[in-house]
Each structure stands twice: as structure tokens, then as C-alpha cells.
Structure 1
Amino acid sequence: MKKYIYKIGAFFLSLPFLGVTASCDDWFGIMPQSEMVAEDFWKDEQDVKSAVGACYRAMLEDGFMRRLIVWGELRSDNVINGLGTDTEIGYILNANLNEANSYCKWNDFYTVINYCNTMIQNAPMVRERDADFTEEDLNHYLAEAKGIRAFCYFTLARTFKDIPYMETPYVDDTQRFQVEQTSFENVLDTLISDLKTVEDVAVSDYGDTEAYNRGRITQKAIWALVADMSLWRGNYRQCVDYCNKILTTATNPLSLLPADTYFNTVFGPARGNSDESIWELQFDPNTTNGAVSTFYGSSNNLSPLLSSLDFDGQNGEDWWGGLDMRHAQSYVEDGLYMIKKYTSYCYATDFEDVKANDFQYGNNESNWIIYRLADVYLMKAEALAELGDIAGAVDMVSYTYDRAHPDLETGSLKAQYPASTSQSVIRDLVFDERQREFLFEGKRYFDIVRRARREGSVTALVNTYLLRKYVAMSLNQTTVLSKINDIDAIYMPIHQDELRLNSLLEQNAFYKTSEDISKN
């Protein structure tokens, strides 16, 4: 059972940032927010705890969650249009993306970052005011806030490339932020260095409270973030080292669930917090996951905005390698190929022939997983592939592949890919396995961006992977290619409102020269 764990501090709800304004009336009209924060809030540990809770709670907001899905999935080859319609989502799906689209707005993420910055700046003063608030407890909270902040900045950088980076909170309506962009590389290097300062003081285990172990930033969540960012920075040895920390540390143990139970237990509505989870956002009947309902469907929404690509039709059944439980349980043909991960319970017993009536929608309570054990295996696999360790990479892929293929002999993948296999083939193996394992989890488009950055070109990715999505949607290939076959087009444009608010911002290169993109 889930447990609701976050208490939101009232003052955090009224903090403005980057064009998100709040009047003094929002704070009962008593005094300026800066005075309220300094004088009346930061008194004892409970205030710090509430402040950290507000950081988590802000990540559950619909705008934040929608962007995790839109930025991580919508432009990937996982999804096409569903039964529902939405003008701005339609523009993105049809490769008609420009700076006026509201999904280019980043204020939901900077709001969370501002909460984190406020907490990080003010929490140390509470040590002077509350004799019972220990240095150890302070460090625990700081590690959580820095972990949340790092994830938000990391997501923004993967989406927009160069972004404003700041560690100073915005707490006064009189402040006017003119902050220039920091390069993608410097943002990630700064975040990695910052996380290393707290990795040894973060909570390693919350005991029997699984909602805390999986719902709050732990030491393993910090390590997962460092491993992930190291992968993006091309520091493959560091990625392997941090994956090994997660895999070898006994506290807060992780394990892959069996093939026949993992779908419902890991992703099922009102479940979550499984033994293979590292960090997931917590939803419940009082705070439902409306974004998943909007995009993937629910009992209250039978016309979701997205459906799955027909992978059999595009790749052939051999792409799955036989009876793949991820194929059987993540989506099903029901008019279109309807997404079932995160939305439904699967009641099938014969996974050879799973049908639509083998699924039942839940109540929009699905947690959203940020990192789980499969991430660690496949991040390490990708890093090892880049280091030229073919056998090691295949061994890591085997963990998720074997779990997904209960009809095959354990280790069968290793026979297909001996140590003499070329590096390029193993790169594709890891890339495809990540797609199969993380379908609809908000990771696929970022995988495409990372590979494009590594290759220095998007052409091969467009022709091999992305173009099939637009073919399935019956779009003109020549028109689509003009809008996506450019290395600078892999990022989102910065929204026009942000450019007006902050004169130091510079629009991403592709959209400077493509302002005439028409909306068809």
C-alpha cells in the first residue's frame, strides 16, 4: 500500500519565479514574502521538513508531470497520435514545433528548483535556532534538495541544451532575473560535483517505510543521477563505477521482480514502490496522476492523446526475440495500439495472446518511476559498450532480457552476441533493449538525443528510427525531414515568453532560422 508522505509548506505555494508571479495577498497580505521567509518560517526542523516536502509535492503538479511525458516521449519513435486531440500536442507529433508552443515553457521545473534553492539557503540557519536539529539531519535534507534540483536541471538540459543555472533563490517580487545560459556540459559537470558533496551524507535506507525508500532521494538515487549524467558526459568509467556502487551496496537492497508479476507490481495503479525501484514520484487517491490519464488513458479517459507505435509492423516480431513480456503487457491493439503501462492491471495468464479485455484500468494513482534497477543495468551496459567491453555489456543487457523472456534459457543472449561481436552491433543492442525495457517511461527521446550528441549527427537516427513514426502517421516524409534532420532540431525551442522576460537568453540555433515553420 502507498503512504502519502509529503506535507507542503504553505509559503512555498506563493513563491514566484521566472514570470510565475504571486501577490502579497497570496501570503495572507500580512508582509512581504522575503520577510516572512526569514522571520516567521525557518524556526525548527519541521519547517525544513515541510520545505523539502514542498519540493517533492511540486513535482506532482500536472504541468511538471506532463512535461516529463512530452519531453521524454512525444518526439520519440515510441508513440503516435491516439484517439484524443489536443492542438499543441498535435503540432509536436506532426513535427510542427515552434517557440509559441506552451510545452516549451519551463517554469514548472524552475519552480521546483527555486523551492530547492530556498531550502538549501535557509535550512542551515535552523541549526542555530533549533537545538534538536542535528548536523546529520540537516545533511540528509540538503542531500534530498540537491538531488531533486539536480534531476530538474538535468531534465532541462537534456530538453533545451544550454539553460539558465542558478543556486540563489528568488523570494522577492522586486527581483528581476536576467540570467544568461550555462552550457550543457558545464551544467552537468556542476551537478555531478555538487552531488558528490552529499553522496556520503544522504540517507541510505529508511528502514521498513518503502514509500520513503522509493519516494525520497536516497544515496542510491544520488548515485543513479551521477551515473546517468556521467553517461551523457562521456565519462564511461565513472558511470560504471557509480552503477557498481548501486549494484554492490547491501543497504536498501534492489532486485528484479519475476516476469509474471513485475508488470502489475512495478507499474500497476495503486502499487509501485517495488523491490526494483530506486526513486519514483508518489501518487495516491488524493493526488492522482492526471498526466498519465491524459496521455495514456484511464477509466475516465478512453480517448488518450497517445498510442503506441506498431512495433511488430515496423520492426517485425524478431525484434522482440520471441515471447517478450514487455511486448505482451505494455500495449495492446484496441482500435489503435493502446498504452497499458502505468494505466492498467493485466489479468492475462496466457501471455502468448494477450487481448484488450485482459487489462483493467486503475484509478489514476500510478507512481511515476524516475530510476529503477533496470536503469542501472542498462546504463552500465551502454558505458561498457562504449569502453569496448563487449562481454560485459551483453552480460548487463541479459538481466533485463532474461527477465522479459521466461520461455528462453537464461543467458541465451550471450550466445547470440559473443565477445567477437562488433562494437556497433552491441551499441544497437543496448539502444534497442533500452527502448523495449523503458517503453513509455519518459526516457526514449532522451536516449535518442544522447546518441545523436555522441554521433554528432541525427541523420542515421532519423532514417532508422524516427522516420517510421511519421510514416505510420501518414505524414509527408520530405516535409518531416526538413524539420527534424538537423542536429540542432533535437532540442526544444525556448518559449517566446521566456525570451521576452530574460533578454540574456538566446534561442536554440535551429529555431532561429526556422521561425517560418508552418502549422499544418
Structure 2
Amino acid sequence: MKNLNIAHVLLLPVLLTLAACEDLLIEQPKTVAVENFYNTAEEVETAVNAIYSPLRSTRAEQIAILDAHTDWGYGRGSRAQYNDFAGLNATNINTAGSRWNSFYQAIRNANLVIANAPDGTDISEEDLNYYLAEAKFLRALAYFDLVRNWGGVPLRTEENMQQIDLPRSTVQEVYDLILEDLGFAESHLLPTAKHIGRPTVYAAKTLMADVHLFLENYQLAMEKSSEVIASDEFALVEINSVEDIRQDIFGPELISTTEEIFYLKYARELGQGNFMLWILNHPSTGLFNFGGAYAHYSDATNPFYMEWDEGDIRKALWDQIDFGLGPNTLVSSKYVDNAAISRNDAGNDLPIYRYAEVLLIFAEASVRNQGAVSEPALAALNQVKRRAYGNPIFEASAIDYQFAPSDVEPFLDAVLQERAYEFQFEGKRWLDLKRTGKAQEMVMKNKGLQIAEAHYLWPIPLQEVNFNGAIDPSTDQNPGY
């Protein structure tokens, strides 16, 4: 059912046709768009599908790299260099450049839709706005990754996509486009997606809430997250064991859950699967039928892990395995699949936004906005914690956080820590530490390391510097490179 569903959602056979004509789309976009391609709703949907491919191809790698930058995560082999917090070496500069390329490929494909779909001859205004909203949502998502990891970047849109030489825009200019795109998406996406795996109005509101959180627009972050909560469309998946987490929240057989707001979809099909499992798993656990490269890990002597309460079921997603680095080495078992068809093709979807994050965005934003701990904020935080202990989500519990209204800083620290436990290998922690100004404090506390200035932003790729005449390598490159 998972394979049939995802084929219907995003991996339609027409993608193969689209891939075959990709060079045409690059070299002769006007010819393809006007004469042959963007005229019907079906053709525009096919073009929108092409936006997903580069995002899906880079997401697992992006998550793994971001979580190696954290106070709890480590990389092995070529990825071990992330652990010194001194910036990227030549090898990892190249891999960062590959991720940059994937984001811009998605943006290019979105720009083609936004530029050409309005000229379609046989598409309703309703369908047109829906697909434009989807394209703008995905473009906003790609730029959100770019701006948080590279800072100001060249702002390529449907209006300048033929222009090679584009200067770096400011961070604020990038965020302005993101919010403009999301405003359109919020207005024209549907409460229920046409197909599972496509964004809804609630995905747009959630991404908007997250953007406002990063921009410190706390009232707007609170409002948008509360709108998602008030919809009553979502709920945390209740758990009682670590196996429940693996199968009922992140399992390879799942089509969707009550917690899913926006996930990138994968399937047990050649070239359409998730290779995060190969990156993370260890062969000794038997949780992935192709073993695993265990390229990312943690350590049981790290204070982050040592201070983690044993009653928290999420802690059991780490297995203690000595693969040559000592008996305290921890390997993640969050994503499991014993029926993958290759080491790169597991069936697990990758969450971009879950309802747990909406609750925690609301909790943080409302307290920052109001300057006091409110009952709704505390309730949202405790829902996430109760679920993690296998307790009823809406019933008071002995493990509940207890804060007075004036306990603003302890509350915010608790939210940050809860996010750290909840979103491991979802690519959130490093970005959280940067936006809250806590990166150096937590990396020193848990790893004993100083963070070099070069480590906070990845370098503008060499190919961009070489081919974009508006980029001056002496003045436009990020610090340390």
C-alpha cells in the first residue's frame, strides 16, 4: 500500500518523462512551456512533481550533516571533521556545494512553474493557484534551508531565472521572499491535500510559524502555530514503547499519521527510497536488512546523554555498540526497515514538520511574546513530554514540567532541551542552537569545544563563485573561507 500510495502521490510515471525532457526545460523553457507543457492541470502537476526530486535527494544528507554539528552528534570517516567545529575542509566543502546545487535545482524547477503555468490554455484559476501555491511553498522551504546555512544567497526567481550573474541578497531580502511565497501558499493551498505528501494550508502556516520564530517575530509565530493547533486536524501519536516510536511515528509501512504536517515521501522502489537508514544503522542490530554504515553516532559519556532521564522512551532509540571507538559509542535506531529493496531504498518518510514541533513552537513563541509562562504554553510543552514517557497526553503526570509564570528562562531552556530530545536526526538542533545564541554554551558544556566563526555558515560553493560574475570571492565569501 505504501508503494502504491507514494507512486500516486509524487512518484508518478510522468516523472520519468519529465526527467527525460529536463535538458529541454533548462535550455528552451519558453518553447516547452508555451507550446507543449504547461497547458493543463495534469501537465502543471507533473512540473510541480519535479520540484520534489532534488529536495528528496538531499534531505537525508542535510539532516545527517546538521546533526553532526550538534552538542550530541558525531560523524565517522570523512564526516568526523564536523566534530572539531572549525569549519569545513575541502571534502566537506564539496559536499556542501552539492546540497546547495540541490536546493537551487528545486528553486529552478519551482521558478519554471511559477513563470509558465499562468500562460496555460486549459487550466482553471483554482487549479492554477493551487499549483502555484505548492511551487511557492517548496521554493520557500528551499530558501529557508539556504538562508539558515549559508546566510544571504543569490535570490533566483521566475523574474530573473535567465540571469547568471546575481549578487548575494541580504538575509532579510531572502526572508522577505520566503514570507511572500508562504503568504500566497497559505491563501491558496487546501486544508486537505489533493494527494498525501503534498503541502496543505496547515503546512504553510507551520513553515510560516517556524520562519517567524527564526526572525524573532514571536507574536506571529505564536499566532500561526496556534491556528494549526486550533484546527483540531492533528494529534500526537500515543506510544508505550520504543518500537511504537519506530513503527507508529517513523515506520516504513506508514502512509500518514495524525502527527504528519509535511513529510518528504519515500518508497521501497529503486531510486525512490530513503538512504538515511544506511547512513545511521549498524549491522549488529538487525534493524535494517542492508546493515548500515553507522556514519553518525553519539557517546554515552557525553553529558547530553548522561543527563537524559532513563524513563524517557526516546532515549532507547540509541543502542550502545562498540564498533572500534569504545564501548560507550551510541548508534541510532530511530529509522528501521527490514524490507528495504536496497541500501538506498528504504520506505521510511522523512518528517519536515510534525505536530510535536507545532506544539513546541507555540510554547516557545507565546512565552517569548508574553514574557511569562502561560497555562497554554505549559500544556503544549507537557503534551510532548508526556507522550515521550508513554503517559496519556492530556492527563497530568508526575513527570510534568512545573513552572511559575515568572520562570521564563527555565521554561525556554526546557523547550530547547525537549526539542533536542524529540527531533534527533530531523535536522533541528544545530539550527536551534544558532538561533537562540546557545551554540557555544552547549557545545562547550557537552563536547568541551570552541566553535570557530567559519563553522556557523557554510561556504558559498566554488562553482557559484567561478560562474556567477556578481560574486566577488574576496568580499562575498562567508567568514573563514
TM band (smaller chain) = 0.7 to 0.9
Matched with 1:464 is 445
Give the alignment's TM-score, normalised by structure 2.
0.84
> Which residue, 174, 185, 188 being the options, matches 1:198?
185
| Aligned-partner Cα distance in 2 for 1:498–1:362 | 29
Cα deviation, residue 339, structure 1: 0.8
| Aligned-partner Cα distance in 2 for 1:414–1:323 | 9
Instruction: Quickly say closer, same or farther: Cα 1:304–1:511, change in 2 above 3 A.
Output: farther
| Contact 1:270 1:362 (8 Å CA) reproduced | no
- In the alignment, is residue 277 of structure 1 matched against residue 260 of structure 2? yes
Matched with 2:213 is 231
Q: Mapping of 1:10-159 within 5 angstroms?
A: 12-13=18-19, 22=23, 32-61=28-57, 63-70=58-65, 72-82=66-76, 85=77, 87=78, 89-98=79-88, 100=90, 101-105=93-97, 106-126=100-120, 129-130=121-122, 133-159=123-149
Cα deviation, residue 108, structure 1: 0.5
Report Cα offsets for 1:15-69 as digits up to 9, x if no partner.
Answer: 88xxxxx5x6x99xxx9454233322223221101011111233222x4542243
Instruction: Quickly say closer, same or farther: Cα 1:507–1:400, change in 2 above 3 A.
Output: farther
Cα deviation, residue 240, structure 1: 0.8
Matched with 2:355 is 373
Report Cα offsets for 1:410-455 as digits up to 9, x if no partner.
Answer: 4347865322453221121111000011111111111112112xx7
- In the alignment, is residue 179 of structure 1 matched against residue 166 of structure 2? yes
- Number of corresponding residues: 448
| Aligned-partner Cα distance in 2 for 1:448–1:507 | 28
Matched with 1:257 is 237
| Contact 1:344 1:362 (8 Å CA) reproduced | no
Instruction: Quickly say closer, same or farther: Cα 1:15–1:507, change in 2 above 3 A.
Output: farther
| Contact 1:177 1:502 (8 Å CA) reproduced | yes
| Contact 1:81 1:307 (8 Å CA) reproduced | yes
| Contact 2:37 2:44 (8 Å CA) reproduced | no
Cα deviation, residue 181, structure 1: 1.3
| Aligned-partner Cα distance in 1 for 2:344–2:234 | 26
| Aligned-partner Cα distance in 1 for 2:436–2:230 | 28
| Contact 1:199 1:219 (8 Å CA) reproduced | yes
| Aligned-partner Cα distance in 2 for 1:362–1:54 | 20
- SS of the residue aligned with 2:352? strand
- SS of the residue aligned with 2:165? coil
Q: Mapping of 1:348-427 within 5 angstroms?
A: 364-387=346-369, 388-391=371-374, 392-406=376-390, 410-412=395-397, 416-427=401-412
CA RMSD of aligned residues (A): 3.0
Q: Mapping of 1:291-306 within 5 angstroms?
A: 291-296=276-281, 298-306=288-296
Report Cα offsets for 1:186-234 as digits up to 9, x if no partner.
Answer: 2113211331133132111148xxxx34x10111100011100010111
| Aligned-partner Cα distance in 1 for 2:358–2:476 | 33
| Contact 1:204 1:219 (8 Å CA) reproduced | yes
Instruction: Quickly say closer, same or farther: Cα 1:296–1:114, change in 2 above 3 A.
Output: farther
Matched with 2:158 is 168
Instruction: Quickly say closer, same or farther: Cα 1:142–1:413, change in 2 above 3 A.
Output: farther
Matched with 1:358 is none
Cα deviation, residue 99, structure 1: 7.0
| Aligned-partner Cα distance in 2 for 1:168–1:121 | 5
| Aligned-partner Cα distance in 2 for 1:381–1:426 | 9
Cα deviation, residue 113, structure 1: 0.6
Instruction: Quickly say closer, same or farther: Cα 1:14–1:447, change in 2 above 3 A.
Output: farther
| Contact 1:64 1:108 (8 Å CA) reproduced | no
| Aligned-partner Cα distance in 2 for 1:512–1:233 | 20
| Aligned-partner Cα distance in 1 for 2:173–2:399 | 38
| Contact 1:296 1:304 (8 Å CA) reproduced | yes
Cα deviation, residue 511, structure 1: 7.0
Cα deviation, residue 248, structure 1: 1.1
Instruction: Quickly say closer, same or farther: Cα 1:385–1:93, change in 2 above 3 A.
Output: same
| Contact 1:343 1:362 (8 Å CA) reproduced | no
Report Cα offsets for 1:330-382 as digits up to 9, x if no partner.
Answer: 2211223111112358xxxxxxxxxxxxxxx9962110000010010011111
Instruction: Quickly say closer, same or farther: Cα 1:309–1:150, change in 2 above 3 A.
Output: farther
| Contact 2:225 2:359 (8 Å CA) reproduced | yes
- In the alignment, is residue 493 of structure 1 matched against residue 459 of structure 2? yes
- SS of the residue aligned with 2:234? coil
- In the alignment, is residue 448 of structure 1 matched against residue 448 of structure 2? no
Amino acid at match of 1:393: A
| Aligned-partner Cα distance in 1 for 2:159–2:295 | 36
The percentage of counterpart residues that share the same residue type is 23
Instruction: Quickly say closer, same or farther: Cα 1:418–1:509, change in 2 above 3 A.
Output: farther
| Contact 2:114 2:158 (8 Å CA) reproduced | no
Amino acid at match of 2:176: D
> Which residue, 308, 311, 325 being the options, matches 1:319?
308
| Contact 1:394 1:413 (8 Å CA) reproduced | no
Give structure 1 stretches of 5+ with no counterpart: 17-21, 346-360, 472-476, 516-520
Cα deviation, residue 13, structure 1: 3.3
| Contact 2:275 2:345 (8 Å CA) reproduced | no
| Aligned-partner Cα distance in 1 for 2:385–2:220 | 24
| Aligned-partner Cα distance in 2 for 1:90–1:316 | 19
Instruction: Quickly say closer, same or farther: Cα 1:343–1:111, change in 2 above 3 A.
Output: same
| Aligned-partner Cα distance in 1 for 2:479–2:176 | 30
